[in-house]
Amino acid sequence: MHTLPELPYPLDALEPHISRETLDYHYGKHHRAYVNKLNELVKGTDYENVSLEEVIRATRPAPGHSSPVYNNAAQAWNHAFYWQCLTPQQGSPQAGLQRALSAAFGSLDDFQQQFSRAAVGTFGSGWAWLVTGKDRGLEIITTGNADNPLAGDRVPLLTCDVWEHAYYIDYRNARAEYLDAFWKIINWDFVAERYGQLHESSNAA
Ligand code: FE2
């Protein structure tokens, strides 16, 4: 049985950047629906009691095909990850992460501009990601609909949900304004921790 993780902060904690009404719908209805639907689809199967990551890796459909189990498992994972990428406490990236972002993209500001451009330019529903991997540098990628970068050797460090349900109540069709707000509520400690874990595990390998 897959469960809806608790939101790491109260529903109104991200105001004024993301409203209580948005979180109430986005977490309380959309995210919950993905988890409930997944449980309905996997009832009595091998996917009932394994991690979401395992379900995602096992059910990823071939290009041009679709898998309702994959879609709901990936959306359940993506949303849980997205909530952790956000925080009401404003901060900035730790020195090591900032150096890595500057080395890869020019500067922190350049990184944010490139990420925003990718997010705003994503056609239709999807996600923008900062990813890395043991043998790769930092990259910005986007995925459509439910898709995520968990397959292969990519490790997600940060994501932005660019489905309309993430911003339409607060910003209507102005996705760029939502991105401007997004940068004010990033949980840089979470991003740095994930980046640090990967760095440590690749040093140990
Ligand atoms: Fe969403």
| Structural fold of domain 20-84 | Helix Hairpins (1.10.287)
Q: Find the 145 Cα to ligand 1 centroid distance in Å.
A: 10
Query: DSSP label at 12?
Result: T
Q: Which amino acid is at 68?
A: P
Which whole number is the average pLDDT over 94-119? 97
Q: Find the 164 Cα to ligand 1 centroid distance in Å.
A: 8
Q: Find the 198 Cα to ligand 1 centroid distance in Å.
A: 26
Tell which CATH architecture fits domain 95-204. Answer: 3-Layer(bab) Sandwich (3.55)
Q: Find the 180 Cα to ligand 1 centroid distance in Å.
A: 17
Q: Decide: residue 137, CB within 10 A, 0-12 exposed, 13-18 middle, 19+ buried.
A: exposed
Look at residues 45, 71, 44, 46 and name the one whose alpha carbon lies nearest to residue 56.
71
The string of pLDDT tens digits covering residues 20-46 is 999 999 999 999 999 999 999 999 999
- How far apart are the C-alpha atoms of 59 and 45, rounded to whole Å? 13
Q: What stretch(es) of the chain map to CATH 3.55.40.20?
A: 95-204
Q: Find the 2 Cα to ligand 1 centroid distance in Å.
A: 18
Q: What's the pTM?
A: 0.95
pLDDT confidence of residue 200: 63
Query: Which tokens hold the place of 146?
Result: 């439910």
Q: What stretch(es) of the chain map to CATH 1.10.287.990?
A: 20-84
Which whole number is the average pLDDT over 64-75? 96
The string of pLDDT tens digits covering residues 54-63 is 999 999 999 8
